[in-house]
């Protein structure tokens, strides 16, 4: 099976595209692939509890449902430290959602190691 990186850049500004990335990551996990998620730009806001609990995309489902499946499958979810700082995402937000804050070079290295990268 493949290692697939999902680089999600859309947040509440485009709920459908943001949840589509999570929906397809969930599908890849259910198909037996190794999945890694990296949230950057506006997508870092997705880890805030009110957003996580309430965001639903048009035809792409509930963010919280996809997130729970990914969390149970121990899918690592990385978030851009710079995007978090700019958008006010706190360590508490990250702790609640079990995400890890990293520097941009992590995205670069993850993309080199992945068999495929999808961007949403």
Domain locations in the chain as residue ranges: 3-119
Beta bridge partners of 101: 79
Backbone angles phi, psi at 65, to 5 degrees: -65, -45
The per-residue pLDDT for 3 is 98
Per-residue pLDDT reduced to its tens digit, 51-98: 999 999 999 999 999 999 999 999 999 999 999 999 999 999 999 888
- How would residue 37 be classed by pLDDT, with cut points 50, 70 and 90? very high
Instruction: Tell me the pTM.
Output: 0.95
Q: CATH number of the domain at 3-119, please?
A: 3.40.1260.10
């Amino acid at each position: 099976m493949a290692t697939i990186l999902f680089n999600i850049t859309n947040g509440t500004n485009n709920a459908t595209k943001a949840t589509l990335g999570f929906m397809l990551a969930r599908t890849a996990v259910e198909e037996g692939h190794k999945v890694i998620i990296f949230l950057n730009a506006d997508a870092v806001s997705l880890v805030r509890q009110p957003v996580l609990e309430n965001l639903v995309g048009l035809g792409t489902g509930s963010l919280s449902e996809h997130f729970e499946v990914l969390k149970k499958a121990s899918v690592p979810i990385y978030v851009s430290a710079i995007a978090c700082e700019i958008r006010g995402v706190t360590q508490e937000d990250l702790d609640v959602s079990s995400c890890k804050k990293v520097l941009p070079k992590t995205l670069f290295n993850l993309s080199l190691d992945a068999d495929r990268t999808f961007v949403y």
